């Protein structure tokens, strides 16, 4: 008998940013946060887990390379928590259930996009790990319960247990049992939400989120203001905007919160800079694009947001994506053609790009080819998926197929 399961999980990009922990071991945040889950059709982590009494120890391969599982590290904690749930919720209740909690596991995972480049690989990665082990162990758990475990792998990972629009409620309890992800609205509520990711750099980043945010907690006074007076109000505003499908309000709060996250990074001692000249020019383009839109219709049409790196994520409604791709390509000429998953250009190419009528072209300079290395067009997506045996990443010998 082979005990094995495969799952995939999505990336999420926060509109209200998580930045700061009140408990670094349990990964309990200093503020609530909210994100949009992006489609797994474009960006995903896929993970296969197998339990077998003949394995000598728990082992994990990420993109074909073995990673150490060292207790009490994050990987070891997540695996141990899931084994504990298997024992308590399945084996202790049903004497005939195989004692999978006592078997070592082999885990193989693959990210179909750059790992540790500020594209939230830790979020989709830990969500896929938790989802595949939960499927292997047949855990009767809700996504919110599983989010409690994914959170201990990487905070932002807890939000990837749901599709659509997701809040991570910070919670107040010391044991973290109320610090979990909840669905604000499913994908189907507002499926017109699209995202354009401008890959400015796919290098490993300078200051990791984990170390950067703790330096901010220790040194930034502005962070305390943000936690007490800004985020609670913004969480309410953005939830209301999502429920009402009010893109203008959604965009206003999203951009303000990205700005404030980078302001608290700058307010850290020594200061942390995640955005670069390219990032700032993309902001200038979106600000001008919105100025024209507001002049015509009174409403914003795009929202930029930046995580702990220079890559821009631009949220917009489906009807505006084409204009925005043309705008970005005009200022950031592309080496490779735009992969057009939604057929915006009906099989043709983007060409030289262009700006909308009334746009002040002087707000940014034209950059060299390669300043924006690539554009990824995606949309709001669903939560983790359990996949069939044909998608498994482990071979019959229990080792990654990529190594065979
Ligand atoms: N598929 C995966 N399975 C298990 N762990 C993963 C997976 N993908 C990434 N990770 C873990 O996450 C780490 C990368 O996280 P890191 O926070 O540095 O980058 P990021 O998630 O790309 O960026 P950010 O979270 O700041 O947006 C990897 O080194 C690995 O330990
Ligand atoms: C800027 C962010 O992307 C920070 C993400 O931080 P991580 O979740 O990567 O940090 P750890 O909990 O230490 O693993 C904002 C966000 O996703 O909310």
Task: Tell me the C-alpha to C-alpha distance, in Å, between residue 116 and each of 45, 308, 401.
Answer: 13, 10, 23
Best mutation site among 9, 18, 34 for ligand 2, i.e. most ligand atoms within 8 A of its Cβ? 18
Token pair 């193989």 is found at 108
Q: How many CB atoms sit inside 10 A of residue 63's CB?
A: 16
Q: Whose CA is nearest to atom 10 of ligand 1?
A: 122
- Architecture per CATH, domain 193-379, reads as 2-Layer Sandwich (3.30)
CB-count exposure of residue 93 (10 Å: 0-12, 13-18, 19+): exposed
Residues present in the chain in total: 404
Running DSSP on this structure, what letter comes out for residue 330? H
Q: Whose CA is nearest to atom 9 of ligand 2?
A: 209
From the CA of 157, give the closest atom in ligand 2.
8
User: What is the SS3 assignment for 20?
Assistant: coil
| Residue-level pLDDT at 352 | 94
Render the burial of 132-167: b for 16+ CB within 10 Å, e for the rest. bbbbbbbbebebebbbbbbbbbbbbbbbbbbbbbbb
Q: Which helix (H) or strand (E) is 5 found in, with range? A: strand 3-10
| Residue-level pLDDT at 204 | 63
Q: Which helix (H) or strand (E) is 242 found in, with range? A: helix 231-243
325/285 Cα distance (integer angstroms) = 12
Give the DSSP per-residue string, 91-113.
ITT-TTS--GGGS-EEEEEEESS
Token pair 């220790």 is found at 218
From the CA of 12, give the closest atom in ligand 2.
17
Best mutation site among 115, 124, 150, 201 for ligand 1, i.e. most ligand atoms within 8 A of its Cβ? 115
CB 189 within 8 A of CB 365: no
Ligand 2 near 307 CB (within 6 A):
yes
Ligand 2 near 181 CB (within 6 A):
no
Ligand 2 near 122 CB (within 6 A):
yes
77/182 Cα distance (integer angstroms) = 22
CB 371 within 8 A of CB 200: yes
- Tell me the whole-structure pTM to 2 decimals: 0.97
Radius of gyration of the chain from Cα atoms?
A: 22
58/39 Cα distance (integer angstroms) = 30
- Please list, in sequence order, all residues whose beta carbon lies within 8 angstroms of the beta carbon of residue 304, skipping any fewer than 6 positions away: 254, 255, 258, 282, 283, 286, 312, 313, 314
Per residue of the chain (404 residues), what is the pLDDT tens digit? 999 999 999 999 999 999 999 999 999 999 999 999 999 999 999 999 999 999 999 999 999 999 999 999 999 999 999 999 999 999 999 999 999 999 999 999 999 987 756 688 999 999 999 999 999 999 999 999 999 999 999 999 999 999 999 999 999 999 999 999 999 999 999 999 999 999 997 666 689 999 999 999 999 999 999 999 999 999 999 999 999 999 999 999 999 999 999 999 999 999 999 999 999 999 999 999 999 999 999 999 999 999 999 999 999 999 999 999 999 999 999 998 899 999 999 988 999 999 999 999 999 999 999 999 999 999 999 999 999 999 999 999 999 997 76
DSSP β-bridge partners for residue 109: 47, 62
Pocket of ligand 1 (CB under 6 A): 45, 62, 109, 111, 115-123, 125-126, 128-129, 156, 208-209, 307-308
Best mutation site among 113, 121, 212 for ligand 1, i.e. most ligand atoms within 8 A of its Cβ? 121
183/8 Cα distance (integer angstroms) = 19
| Residue-level pLDDT at 202 | 63
Q: Where are the alpha helices (DSSP H) in 244-276?
A: 247-266
Question: What CATH number is given for 3-189+384-403 in this structure?
Answer: 3.30.230.10
3-189+384-403 and 193-379 agree in CATH topology: no
Please give the ipTM for the structure prediction. Answer: 0.96
* Parallel/antiparallel/unpaired status of strands 312-317 and 193-199: antiparallel
Any idea where the domains of the chain sit in the sequence? 3-189+384-403, 193-379
Instruction: Determine phi and psi for 350, rounding to 5 degrees.
Output: -70, -30
Query: Sheet harboring 180-185: ordered strands across?
Result: 12-16, 33-37, 165-169, 180-185
């Amino acid at each position: 008998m082979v005990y094995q399961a495969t799952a995939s999980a999505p990336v999420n990009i926060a509109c209200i940013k998580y930045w700061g922990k009140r408990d670094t071991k349990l990964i309990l945040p200093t503020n609530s946060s909210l994100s949009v889950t992006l489609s797994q059709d474009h960006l995903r982590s896929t993970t296969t887990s197998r339990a077998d009494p003949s394995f000598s120890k728990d082992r994990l391969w990420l993109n074909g390379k073995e990673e150490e599982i060292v207790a009490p590290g994050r990987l070891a904690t997540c695996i141990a928590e899931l084994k504990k749930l298997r024992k308590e919720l399945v084996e202790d209740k049903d004497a005939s259930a195989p004692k999978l909690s006592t078997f070592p596991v082999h885990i193989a995972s693959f990210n179909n996009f750059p790992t540790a480049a500020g594209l939230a690989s830790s979020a989709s990665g830990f969500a896929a790990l938790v989802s595949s082990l939960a499927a292997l162990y047949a855990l009767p758990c809700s996504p919110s319960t599983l989010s409690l475990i994914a959170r201990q792998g990487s905070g932002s990972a807890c939000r990837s247990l749901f599709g659509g629009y997701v809040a991570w409620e910070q919670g107040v309890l010391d044991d973290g049992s109320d610090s979990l992800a909840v669905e604000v609205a499913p994908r189907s509520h507002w499926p017109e939400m699209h995202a354009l990711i401008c890959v400015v750099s796919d290098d490993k980043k300078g200051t990791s989120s984990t170390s950067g945010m703790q330096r901010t907690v220790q040194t930034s006074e502005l962070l305390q203001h943000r936690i007490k007076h800004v985020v609670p109000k913004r969480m309410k505003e953005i939830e209301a905007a999502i429920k009402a499908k009010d893109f203008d309000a959604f965009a206003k709060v999203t951009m303000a919160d990205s700005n404030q996250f980078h302001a608290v990074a700058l307010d850290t001692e020594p200061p942390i800079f995640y955005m670069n000249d390219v990032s700032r020019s993309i902001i200038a383009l979106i600000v001008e694009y919105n100025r024209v839109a507001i002049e015509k219709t009174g409403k914003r049409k795009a929202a930029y947001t930046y995580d702990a790196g220079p890559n821009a994520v631009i949220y917009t409604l489906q009807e505006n994506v084409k204009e925005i791709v043309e705008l970005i390509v005009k200022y950031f000429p592309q080496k490779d053609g735009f992969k057009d998953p939604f057929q915006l250009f009906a099989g043709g190419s983007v060409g030289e790009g262009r700006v909308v009528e009334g746009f002040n072209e002087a707000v940014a300079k034209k950059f060299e080819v390669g300043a924006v290395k690539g554009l990824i067009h995606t949309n709001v997506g669903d939560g983790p998926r359990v996949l069939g045996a044909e998608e498994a990443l482990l071979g019959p010998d229990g080792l990654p197929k990529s190594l065979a």
